[in-house]
Structure 1
Amino acid sequence: MTRRLSVLAGRLRKLDGGSMFGSLPRQRWSDCIEPDAENQIGLASRVLLVQEPGRNVLIMAGSEPLLAPVPRTCRCQPQPLGLLDSLAQRGLDEHDIDVVILTHVHALLPPDVRSAFQAGDPPRLLFPGASYVTGARQWSRALRPHPRDRAWFVPQLLDQLEESGRLKLVEDSASGVLGEGWRFHVSDGYTPGQLLPELEMPGGPVVFAGDLIPGLHWLELDVTTAFDRNPECLIEEKERLLDHLVATGGRLLLARDPAVALAKVTRDRQSRYYAFDQHGCLDRCEI
């Protein structure tokens, strides 16, 4: 089966640099990604488009890209480019998407979207003909969140997903929705039941790393974030996934890295992981 991969750019996000690098000293992480005056760093919000014969699949880390853009209150406000704009550049619109895979259902809402929710006028879900695929344990966590991560789950968004009648929950590494050539790695370190899709490609498998490995700087095993629910578990999961990619010649698709979208991984003589064959973008690639 021929698959073509394209990286779609969503809205840029900013998060506290110290939170994204956990216990790593600021002197070290600020050399990796320069923070602004408020100590925030810019992160990408990439979505992977997988085009197969007769089917278009989107993979996204978090559920906020599912929401339709909020109308501008005045024309003087610039409209940030979003997921629909990236699809339109490839001749697609939201009705052309058949499956949306959510690695998890956290939602980091930008200010305009948060205001719409607070005003009781939440944006609708995009992709009205698509099945929404996520992990069963992640969904259970979202419905009964722990106080530590309750703020990351948006009840109104979860209600829309459930009421759509198109929500598909995955229990293990396989999915009847996706079929052959797809599998899932299930991760609990960042959030319980995070799904990391792996798809077969001619040049070796590609794994969408979600928030297990948000970018190249997190290839170091001991670099975790303050958002990880179980850092020790995450480190072990990261090592297993990276060893799998080294053994199979696989590639990582990075959802958050500011500059790199896709990279191969190897291990040096000191057993440290590092990336090579890096790509900043992909457009209908059969790699």
Structure 2
Amino acid sequence: MKLYPINAGNFKLDGGAMFGVVPKSLWQRTNPADTNNMIDIAARCLLIEDGDRLILIDTGMGNKQSDKFYGYYFLWGDDTLDKSLAKHGFHRDDITDVFMTHLHFDHCGGSIQWNKDRTGYKPAFKNAHFWSNSNHWKWATQPNRREKASFLKENILPMEESEQLKFTALPEDKILKKSALGFDIFFADGHTEKQMIPMINYKGKTICFMADLLPTAGHLPLPFVMGYDTRPLLTLDEKELFLNMAADENFYLFLEHDAHNEIITVKHTEKGVRLNEIYTCKEIFN
């Protein structure tokens, strides 16, 4: 097995929205804001080369939305999904599976693209299966009013229409052991219904793709919960459960949205689970 970080692009989000009720005087210590109160965010995806499978976890925002849409997110840097795949010698047509932690636009927008004459949409990965789960799919296709703006039908429905959509099994508790894609999955419901956190066994290490359960290293303290979460009290419990496991078992936490910290480990302290070490992907994957 080989792992590759795939940067699908960088953007900015409002710091207050990213940290909910936590005062700016606290969160800006780890995530400094610009004059518009925006903080740096990455869309750091993960590519798994495992035998004849090439599995991409999340796909970023994509490039099919309007300039007005992207203007809200202050795109920065020159990374794209295609450029990042090419850097490692791959093309999107090589991808066999696209695993989506959840269907918010910044995690799955790159899965679907315009068709040739821009009259409709088609899969951006023509040879891949798209993986979600039945509970989350229903949640995303029949969205509540709070999340409706994050579940864009043009990102979601073409997956089903293409007949490339597949669902993982659901766990009896929180962790699905040995999913159809070969890795364990932790299911979290605080941010959105049945968000999936891959837990990949790699060279004796457990690499956890944290998605929106832990957006950045600055979100480690339990009360530091995003304003976007639909069930923030449940997020508190799920973070506590997962971070205690991570400290006990020395998990390596791959941070999708932290523009400046790629992988971290955590440890137990008197204040709870806190940052232990910071690593680059190159240090862990090579």
Fold shared per TM-score above 0.5 = yes
- Counterpart CA distance in 1 for 2:163 and 2:3 is 28
Aligned to 1:272: 272
CA contact (8 A) 1:199 1:205 kept: yes
| Aligned with residue 142 of structure 2, among 144, 159, 176 | 144
- 1:190 and 1:228 in contact (8 A); partners too: yes
2:218 matches 1:230: no
Q: 1:37 to 1:271 in 2, by over 3 A?
A: closer
Question: What is the rounded CA distance, in whole Å, between the counterparts of 1:70 and 1:153 in structure 2?
Answer: 13
For 1:184-195, what aligned pairs fall within 5 Å after superposition? 184-195=185-196
Contact 1:5 1:284 in 2 (8 A): no
Q: CA deviation at 1:35?
A: 1.4
Superposition pairs of residues 1-287 of structure 1, within 5 angstroms: 3-60=1-58, 64-65=60-61, 67=62, 80-108=78-106, 121=119, 124-170=122-168, 171-172=170-171, 173-174=176-177, 177-179=180-182, 182-268=183-269, 270-282=270-282, 285=285
State the alpha-carbon separation in 2 of the partners of residues 246 and 259 from structure 1: 21
Encode CA deviations 1:211-252: one digit per residue, 9 max, x unaligned: 010011111111101100111100110111111122222111
Matched residues in 1 for 2:242 and 2:179: separation?
Answer: 23
Aligned residue for 1:228, secondary structure, equals coil
1:113 aligned residue: none
Paired residue total = 266
CA 273–121 in structure 1, closer or farther in 2 if over 3 Å, else same: farther
Bigger RCO (CA 8 Å, 6+ sep): 1
Q: How high is the TM-score relative to the length of structure 1?
A: 0.84
CA contact (8 A) 2:189 2:234 kept: yes
**Which residue identity is paired with 1:138?**
H
After superposition, the CA RMSD in angstroms is: 2.7
Q: Report the counterpart of residue 72 of structure 2 in structure 1.
A: none
Moved more, 272-281 or 132-141: 272-281
CA contact (8 A) 1:259 1:280 kept: no
Please tell me whether the aligned partners of residues 21 and 224 of structure 1 are also in contact (alpha carbons under 8 angstroms): yes
Q: Aligned letter for 2:18?
A: M
Q: Is the alpha carbon distance of 1:209 and 1:258 closer, same or farther for their aligned partners in structure 2, counting shifts above 3 Å? A: same
- AA aligned to 1:280 is T
Counting aligned pairs with the same residue, the percent is 26
Cα–Cα, structure 1 residues 5 and 108, in superposed 2: closer, same or farther, change >3 Å? Answer: closer
CA distance in structure 1 between the partners assigned to 2:121 and 2:38 by the alignment: 27
TM-score normalised by length of structure 2 = 0.85
User: CA separation in 1, counterparts of 2:90 and 2:189?
Assistant: 34
Structure-2 change in CA distance of 1:6 and 1:33 (3 Å)? same
Judged with a 3 Å threshold, the aligned counterparts in structure 2 of structure 1 residues 201 and 101 are, in CA distance, closer, same or farther, namely same
- The alpha carbon displacement at 1:271 in A equals 4.5
Q: Which runs of 5+ in 1 are unaligned?
A: 73-77, 110-115
The alpha-carbon deviation at position 176 of structure 1 amounts to 5.4
Distance 1:192 1:71 in 2: 28
Q: CA deviation at 1:68?
A: 5.6
Q: C-alpha displacement at 1:256, in angstroms?
A: 0.6
Q: How far apart are the structure 2 equivalents of 1:231 and 1:21?
A: 11
| Amino acid in structure 1 at the alignment position of 2:21 | S
Kindly provide the CA deviation profile for residues 187-232 of structure 1, in whole angstroms up to 9, marking residues without a partner as x. Answer: 0000011010111122421111110100111111111011001111
CA contact (8 A) 2:95 2:125 kept: yes
When residues 122 and 40 of structure 1 are mapped into structure 2, their CA distance, relative to the original with a 3 A threshold, is farther
User: SS where residue 35 of structure 2 aligns?
Assistant: coil
1:137 maps to amino acid: N
Alpha-carbon displacement from aligned partner over 1:79-136 (angstroms, at most 9, x marks no partner): 9430110000111001111111100000049xxxxxx89xx75664321111111122
